[in-house]
Amino acid sequence: MARKLTPSDIKQLNTKKGLVALIDKEPLSVEKALRYIKYEKNLKKLQVELIRLQTWAIKNEERIIIVFQGRDAAGKGGAIRRITERINPRHMRIVALPKPTKDEQSQWYFQRYVEQFPKAGEMVLFDRSWYNRAVVEPVNGFCTQEEYEIFMNQVNDFERMILESGIHLVKIYMSISKKEQAKRFAEIKGDPLKQWKMTKLDERAQALWDQYTEYKNAMFEKTNTEISPWKIIRANRKTEARINVINHILKSIPYDKTLEI
């Protein structure tokens, strides 16, 4: 049985945002509309804090790296958009590197990522990162077993050097269920505005689910260190995941919460 609406619920629904949230959700659901209104309110508050965090970083010439990994269609891009949509674009970058060139393939594996590291006062968000070699590459045969093992032996020292250089490093893994991934793939394929998101790797993700799980678990076991831990965000519900991602970033970086913006 549906719960009885409170005066506060009615007041929230009887606004422009409330009405849009109500008619935008199919099938029509008051509960979903109220959840979305609450999400929008929380998101706005957290985005103000992200502006404060960025202001602190610029003022103190801090450098911030945020790494996003996770299953295909887990919502990494959506979370990154909510983080960056209100902050100053001149002091942040989103990095989503393509397949390495021939020259890059001959370099030290971490080199092309180091070249993207932040300068003073800058935040860099990696939409996938050096951790491709921990999961995506070995699962799909894009690296040799030796290359994989070298990476796994070097990555913790690499991150220790990042941290010792004074860079703030936050590692986020967005996790969804196999059923939810299949549902999102179907939505992407059925939406002409999103079909470009579907890659050949995405097409194979469901069939290779167990292999991804095996390498993901090995990555956590090796690289979830005390100085550079992973934060796993359950992302079956996108709005909840975005709020949790931003909250984690704000808790992970010791910015001045009293700073005027």
CB atoms within 10 A of CB 60: 12
**What crossing angle do the helices spanning 30-60 and 238-252 adopt, rounded to 10°?**
20
> What pLDDT shows up at residue 6?
77
Q: What is the mean pLDDT of residues 178-188?
A: 97
pTM of the model: 0.90
Q: Is the pLDDT of residue 3 over 70?
A: no
> What pLDDT shows up at residue 65?
99
> What pLDDT shows up at residue 32?
79
Percent above pLDDT 90 for the chain = 86
Q: Is the pLDDT of residue 171 over 60?
A: yes
**What kind and span of H or E run contains 158?**
helix 145-164
Q: Are 244 and 233 in contact (CB under 8 A)?
A: yes
Q: Is the pLDDT of residue 163 over 70?
A: yes
Q: Is the pLDDT of residue 15 over 70?
A: no
Q: What is the mean pLDDT of residues 67-95?
A: 98
Q: Are 70 and 235 in contact (CB under 8 A)?
A: yes
Q: What is the mean pLDDT of residues 21-25?
A: 57
CB atoms within 10 A of CB 230: 17
> What pLDDT shows up at residue 1?
45
User: What kind of architecture, by CATH, is found in domain 61-252?
Assistant: 3-Layer(aba) Sandwich (3.40)
Of 8-17, 155-164, 240-249, which gets the smallest average pLDDT?
8-17
Q: 3-state DSSP: the chain helix, strand, coil percent, rounded to 5?
A: 55, 10, 30
CA dist 131 and 155 (Å) reads 9
Q: Per the structure block, which two tokens stand in for 194?
A: 């999103």
Q: What is the mean pLDDT of residues 94-122?
A: 97
Q: Are 229 and 159 in contact (CB under 8 A)?
A: no
Which strands, in side-by-side order, build the sheet including 230-234? 92-95, 122-127, 63-70, 168-175, 230-234
> What pLDDT shows up at residue 30?
72
Q: Backbone dihedral region of 229: left (phi > 0), alpha (psi from -120 to 50 degrees) or beta?
A: beta
Q: What is the mean pLDDT of residues 200-214?
A: 97
> What pLDDT shows up at residue 19?
52
Q: Per the structure block, which two tokens stand in for 148?
A: 């994989």
Q: Which residue has the higher pLDDT, 191 or 23?
A: 191
